[in-house]
Structure 1
Amino acid sequence: MRTRHQIAVIPGDGIGREVVPAAISVLEAAGRRHGFELAWKEYDWSCERYARTGQMMPEDGLDQLRPSDAIFLGAVGYPGVPDHVSLWGLLLPIRRGFAQYACVRPLKLLPGVTTPLAGRAAKDIDLVVVRENNEGEYSKMGGRIYEGTDDELVIQEAVFTRRGVDRILAYAFELAGRRRGHVTSATKSNGIFHSMPFWDERFALMAARHPGVRTAQYHIDILSAHFVQHPDWFDVVVASNLFGDILSDLGAAIAGSIGVAASGNVNPERTAPSMFEPTHGSAPDIAGKGIANPVAQVWSGAMMLEHLGHPEAARDVERAIEAVLSDPATRTRDLGGRATTREVADALAQALR
C-alpha cells in the first residue's frame, strides 16, 4: 500500500502562486518514482485575503492546519499590506503555534550558478544556517509612550530562554554530526550585555556535550565579513532569530541567487506539522510573467520529503536540480538564462522519470 501524506498548501502572494504549482508537479514526479502519494489541500491565506477580510488567515487557522503532515508555503507579502502585518498575521503564528523552532536554511553553490565571490567554486560554499525561530529578537514585548512628541520612547525586548537556546544549539550540533562535524556560533557578546553572554555560556556547555564536533564562534559583524571572505570555513552556523535571518540572506547571495535558497521551519519533536518555504519573497515586480525561478520552492519541497521520511526521493530531487541547472537552456533569467517557470519545472520532472 502506497504511503499517502496530507500536505497543506499556502501559495500566498505574487510569484508564490506560480512557483508552488510548479514545485508540486516536480514533487509528484518524485512520489511516482518512489511509491508515495502527496494529497494537497490549498488555503487562500494571503495579502489579498487580508485586503478582503482584514485577516491573513482565519481565527481557527492553526486548527485547520494541525492535521496536516506538513505545510508547503510559497511567498507572502504584497504592496499595500505592511510587511509586519503579513508576517505577524500568518508566518509567525504558524512558526510559533507549531513550535517550529528550527529554521534550517541550506546554502550551497549549485552547478550553473555563479557566485559573486571571485575565485570560489562549489567545494567552497556548502553550509547550513540554523536559525532560532521562536524567540530572540522577534518579540512583541515592548511598546511606545509619548507618541508624536519629542519625548517619544520606544522599547523593544528580546527574549532568550534556557530551553529555547539549548534546543536550537542541540539541533545544530546534531546536524553537524551528520555533516562535516563543525558548528559556528553567531554572537555579539561584546555589545549586547545580557542575552549574548548567556548564549555563549549555553554554547560552551553544548560543545562539552558533543566532544566529537569542532566549534568556532564569532561576533556577528566579523562573521558577516568571514562569510564573504572565507565561506569554506563554515559547515553549520547557529544563530539567534535576527542574526540567522540576516546571515541566511547574505549566504543566499554568496550562493549566487536567492531564487535557489530553500528553507524549512522544523518542529524536530514532530508534535505539530513543519513548514517548508523558499527564502525569497513574493517579487511583485515579476509576478504573473511566468519567469520566476522555481528552484528554491522545489528544493524546499525536497527538504519536506526528507522530513516526511523519504530521504532517497529528496536526494533525487536535489540531483535533478543540479542536472537541470547544469544546462543553460533550463535556467531562469535571474541565473542568466531565458527559461520560464514552467519550462524549468517540466525539465525537473522529466529528470525524475
Structure 2
Amino acid sequence: MKPLKIAVIPGDGIGIEVMDEALKVIEVLKTLDPNLQIENTVFPWNSEYYLTHGEMMPKDGLTTLQQYDAILFGAIGDKRVPDEVTIWELIMPIRKQFQQYVNFRPVKSLPGIASPLSRRKNIDFVIYRENAEGEYSNSGGRMFNGEQRELAVQNTVMTRTGIESLVRAACEYAVEHSKTKITSATKSNVIFHSMKLWDEHTSAIVNNEYPQLSLESYYIDALVAYFVERPESFEVVVASNLFGDILSDLGSALVGGLGLSPSANINPEGQYPSMFEPVHGSAPDIAGKGIANPIAQIWSLALMLDHLGRKDLAKIIVDSIVLVLQKGDVKTADIGGTSSTKQMGEAICEQMKKLVSNGMERSHEIV
C-alpha cells in the first residue's frame, strides 16, 4: 500500500500546541491499523521563520508542498508580523496556487456542548465557501495617501468557472449524503454585477444538472438571521468568499465556538494537494498556556483522511470526539472545563483505542 505523504505546518501560537495532539492521533491510528502508512514532514514555516529569513516560506515552498498528498495546517498570526504578510505570503499562495477553490466547513451540534441559542437545536449542515476569488482577490489599490481625498478600491472578482465549480462540488456532496436542498447566500439586490452573476449560474447548475435538489436563495442579511432563528433547516449552504467566511464563523458560534470547528481547503480534482486546518486563529492571548482546544485540529485531520479515501479512520476520530464530549469528564476552558490541551488530546486517543477494541474489525481497513 502506498504511504500517505502529509506536509505538516503547525504555524504560530496555539497552532503548534494543537498540532502536537493531532500528530499523536496519527500515531494511534498506526497502531490500530497495521496497514496504515503515513509519512509526516513538519515544515517550520511561520512568523518566527519570517523574522529569521525574511519570507514566510522558501522560494520553492509551493513546489515542495506539491509533492505531498495533503497539507495539515495549524494556525498563523503573530503580533510581530503584519497579517497581510502571514496571510498573503503563506495561506493565500497555497490556496490559490493549488486551486483549493472549495472551503468546506461542517456545522454540527455536539453532545455536552451548550449552544448559545435559547432553545437547543439539532444543527447539522455544511458550508461550501468559494475560496479562490470573490471578495478576497488581491485586486485594487489606494491613491492620494495622506491627503483628504485619499481613496481605496477593492475589487471583487467572480468568474463563471469559479461559481460553477463550487456549486457543482456542493451539489455532488448533497447527492452523496442524501441531502435535498442547496441554500445560496446572495446580495444581488444591491451588488448588481458580481452577485447577479452568482445567482444566475448557481441557479443554472442546481436546476439544470441536479433536478433532485431544490434551491433556495436568501440575501445575506436575512440569512444570518435565519442561521440563528432556524439553523436546523439548512443542509448545504453555498456562499462567496466573504459571505462564506462570515456565515461559517457564525455557524461555529452556534454550536459552541471556533475551538470545535474544522475546515478543509479542497482541490476537488485532486490535481493539487488539499489543505486541512482548524477555523480558529493562533490565539496569542492563550498561546503557551496549554489550554487551547485541540478538537478543531483533530477533526480537521479526520476531514483530511476522509478526503484521502480513509472514511473508516475519519469516522473513528469523529466518533471518539463525540464520545469524549458526551462523557463530559474532559473539557477545555472554551467549552466550560478546566482540562488542558494535552488532556483533551489524550482522552480522544484513549477513546479511539476503546472503540476499536470493543468490536471493530481489523483487516485491510478498520470498519
User: Which stretch of structure 1 is more off in the superposition, 107-116 or 270-279?
Assistant: 107-116
Q: Secondary structure at the residue paired with 1:207? A: helix
User: Which stretch of structure 1 is more off in the superposition, 3-12 or 88-97?
Assistant: 3-12
1:49 and 2:49 matched: yes
**Aligned-partner residue type, residue 14 of structure 1:** G
Q: Secondary structure at the residue paired with 2:216? A: strand
Give the CA deviation at 1:192: 0.4
Aligned match of 1:157:
155
Instruction: Please list the CA deviations of residues 208-266 of structure 1 after superposition, one character each: whole Å capped at 9, or x if unmatched.
Output: 21010122110111100100111011111000011001110010000111101000000
Aligned match of 1:38:
38
Aligned match of 1:236:
236
Distance 1:238 1:300 in 2: 20
**Aligned-partner residue type, residue 189 of structure 1:** S
Distance 2:286 2:328 in 1: 21
Instruction: Please list the CA deviations of residues 56-81 of structure 1 after superposition, one character each: whole Å capped at 9, or x if unmatched.
Output: 11111101111101000000001122
Aligned match of 1:258:
258
Give the CA deviation at 1:119: 1.2
**Aligned-partner residue type, residue 152 of structure 2:** V
Aligned match of 2:196:
197
Aligned match of 1:332:
332
Aligned match of 2:271:
271
Distance 2:204 2:175 in 1: 16
1:12 and 2:43 matched: no
Give the CA deviation at 1:268: 0.4
Is this contact kept in 2: 1:263–1:278, CA < 8 A?
A: yes
Distance 2:317 2:26 in 1: 8
Structure 1 unpaired stretches of 5+: none
Instruction: Please list the CA deviations of residues 289-321 of structure 1 after superposition, one character each: whole Å capped at 9, or x if unmatched.
Output: 111100000000000001111001101110000
Is this contact kept in 2: 1:189–1:219, CA < 8 A?
A: yes
Distance 1:30 1:336 in 2: 29
Structure 2 unpaired stretches of 5+: 354-367
Distance 2:26 2:111 in 1: 21
Distance 2:194 2:115 in 1: 34
Distance 2:314 2:29 in 1: 8
Distance 2:340 2:275 in 1: 26
Distance 2:143 2:293 in 1: 44
Distance 1:340 1:117 in 2: 26
Aligned match of 1:174:
172
Distance 2:2 2:46 in 1: 30
Is this contact kept in 1: 2:107–2:252, CA < 8 A?
A: yes
Across the aligned residues of Structure 1 and Structure 2, the Cα RMSD in angstroms comes to: 1.0
Instruction: Please list the CA deviations of residues 322-341 of structure 1 after superposition, one character each: whole Å capped at 9, or x if unmatched.
Output: 01111222111111111111
Aligned match of 1:109:
109
Give the CA deviation at 1:27: 2.6
Is this contact kept in 2: 1:3–1:36, CA < 8 A?
A: no
1:76 and 2:91 matched: no
Instruction: Please list the CA deviations of residues 149-170 of structure 1 after superposition, one character each: whole Å capped at 9, or x if unmatched.
Output: 1111211111111111100010
Is this contact kept in 2: 1:30–1:316, CA < 8 A?
A: no
Is this contact kept in 2: 1:30–1:317, CA < 8 A?
A: no
Give the CA deviation at 1:146: 1.1
**Aligned-partner residue type, residue 192 of structure 1:** I
Give the CA deviation at 1:178: 2.2
Identical-residue share of aligned pairs (%): 48
**Corresponding residue to 1:126 among 119, 124, 127:** 124
- Going from structure 1 to structure 2, the CA distance change for 1:182 and 1:32 (only over 3 Å counts) comes to farther
Aligned match of 1:140:
138
Is this contact kept in 1: 2:188–2:219, CA < 8 A?
A: yes
Aligned match of 2:359:
none
**Aligned-partner residue type, residue 154 of structure 1:** A
Give the CA deviation at 1:181: 2.1
Aligned match of 2:220:
220
1:282 and 2:282 matched: yes
TM-score, normalised with respect to structure 1? 0.97
Give the CA deviation at 1:28: 2.6
Aligned match of 2:183:
184
TM-score, normalised with respect to structure 2? 0.93
Is this contact kept in 2: 1:108–1:125, CA < 8 A?
A: yes
1:27 and 2:19 matched: no
**Aligned-partner residue type, residue 166 of structure 1:** E
Is this contact kept in 1: 2:203–2:215, CA < 8 A?
A: no
Is this contact kept in 2: 1:183–1:214, CA < 8 A?
A: yes
Q: Secondary structure at the residue paired with 1:25? A: helix
Is this contact kept in 2: 1:329–1:338, CA < 8 A?
A: no
Aligned length: 350
Task: Spell out structure 1 runs of 4+ moving beyond 6 A.
Answer: none
- Going from structure 1 to structure 2, the CA distance change for 1:322 and 1:3 (only over 3 Å counts) comes to farther
Give the CA deviation at 1:3: 4.3
Give the alignment of 1:279-318 within 5 angstroms: 279-318=279-318
Q: Secondary structure at the residue paired with 2:329? A: helix
**Aligned-partner residue type, residue 172 of structure 1:** A
Q: Secondary structure at the residue paired with 1:352? A: helix
**Aligned-partner residue type, residue 21 of structure 1:** D
Is this contact kept in 2: 1:258–1:279, CA < 8 A?
A: yes
